[in-house]
Amino acid sequence: MRVIIQRVNEANLKVNNELICSINYGLLILVGIENEDTDQDIDWLSSKVIGLRIFKDSDDMMNLSLNEINGELMIVSQFTLYASTKKGNRPGFTRSAKPELAKLLYLKLIMKIKSLFSGKVVEGIFGADMKISLINDGPVTIIIDSKNKE
């Protein structure tokens, strides 16, 4: 499981030009799910995301977590995070999980995060053509992969 985490001042998600959800100060998380992902990946990644200390404290240091700043969270599925560009110029997506498995794990991830985080959590619509607008704060953007625990 791979995520791109963006610290945002705000984010809005639309489908068919209709606002589906929005957040204020917090995290936008784009989630890619691959064929090999399991509940263990969900558990590890959920804890990592919620505990990630990337918000500024009173000394202007990135030292606070989402819970500590009462931030908000938007979670969006994005199968393109497992794009392979090894051959040619057209990306391949064979590592991305099939929609049935990906949706199941995506929903489990949302449930797990909601069990760890008491603040506002919103999510995109799985499989929809979504338009996301955001103001990246910092900018702070972090990539985490449950198979490469750096």
pLDDT for 64-91, tens place per residue?
999 999 999 999 999 989 888 888 888 8
Strands (E) in the chain, as ranges, are: 2-15, 18-23, 26-32, 55-56, 62-64, 72-77, 121-123, 130-145
Interval 11-43: pLDDT, tens: 999 999 999 999 999 999 999 999 999 999 999
pLDDT for the residue numbered 27? 98
Number of helices (H), then strands (E), in the chain: 2, 8
Q: Which positions are catalytic?
A: 80
> What pLDDT band is residue 95 in, cutting at 50, 70 and 90?
confident
Given a contact cutoff of 8 angstroms between Cβ atoms, the answer to whether 69 and 23 are in contact is no
Q: What is the DSSP letter of 82?
A: G
The mean per-residue pLDDT over the stretch 103-113 comes to 97
Residue 97, CB-side half-sphere exposure with 13 Å CA sphere: 22
pLDDT band at 131 (very low <50, low <70, confident <90, very high): very high
**Which of 140, 133, 124, 20 is CA-nearest to residue 69?**
140
Supply the pLDDT for residue 114.
96
